[in-house]
């Protein structure tokens, strides 16, 4: 369970880093779009209108791509957070169960200690107690 929790934490960290990079890329693309709209064009076009249109389209595509990456990273972060909400309590419960299982031999020994001593000294259990000796029913 610890390994799974570590993997979830790592995945969440990667998703947050991806979101930060995409946010930075989005800001850059918005600046590029503003610069593209600000590009000068001439009445006697020497290809300036095409360059401006291409720059606007490229910036628009970059914005759309960055926004999609932000949505994806946000979705991944949510999945990691939901997973952590499940894994953390489950880990605690499994640890408690493991501790209880580790306690069984000790508790069993305390409960049946006198019976085990009796059998080791050659004593025989009454008819329904054969399971303690390991004899088949």
Please write the tens of the pLDDT for every residue from 20-65.
Answer: 999 999 999 999 999 999 998 887 788 888 999 999 999 999 999 9
Task: Output the pLDDT for position 26.
Answer: 96
Quote the tokens at residue 134.
């390991």
Can you give the pTM of this predicted structure? 0.66
Mean pLDDT of 110-130: 75
Please write the tens of the pLDDT for every residue from 72-88.
Answer: 999 999 999 999 999 88
Which of 115, 16, 20, 26 is CA-nearest to residue 66? 26
**Average pLDDT in the chain:** 87
29: exposed, middle or buried (Cβ count in 10 Å: 0-12, 13-18, 19+): buried
Asked whether the CA dihedral 36, 41, 46, 47 is positive or negative, the reply is positive
pLDDT classification of 134: cutoffs 50, 70, 90: low
Mean pLDDT of 75-104: 91
Crossing angle (nearest 10°) for helices 2-37 and 48-120: 170
């Amino acid at each position: 369970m610890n390994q799974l929790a570590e993997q979830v934490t790592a995945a969440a960290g990667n998703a947050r880093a991806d979101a930060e990079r995409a946010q930075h890329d989005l800001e850059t693309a918005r600046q590029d779009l503003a610069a593209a709209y600000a590009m000068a064009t001439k009445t006697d076009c020497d290809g300036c209108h095409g360059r401006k249109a291409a720059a606007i389209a490229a910036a628009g595509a970059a914005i759309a791509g960055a926004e999609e990456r932000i949505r994806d990273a946000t979705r991944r972060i949510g999945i990691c957070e939901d997973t952590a909400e499940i894994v953390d309590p489950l880990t605690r419960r499994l640890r408690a169960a493991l501790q209880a299982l580790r306690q069984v031999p000790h508790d069993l020994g305390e409960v049946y200690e006198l019976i085990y001593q009796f059998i080791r000294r050659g004593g025989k259990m009454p008819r329904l107690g054969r399971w303690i000796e390991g004899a088949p029913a």
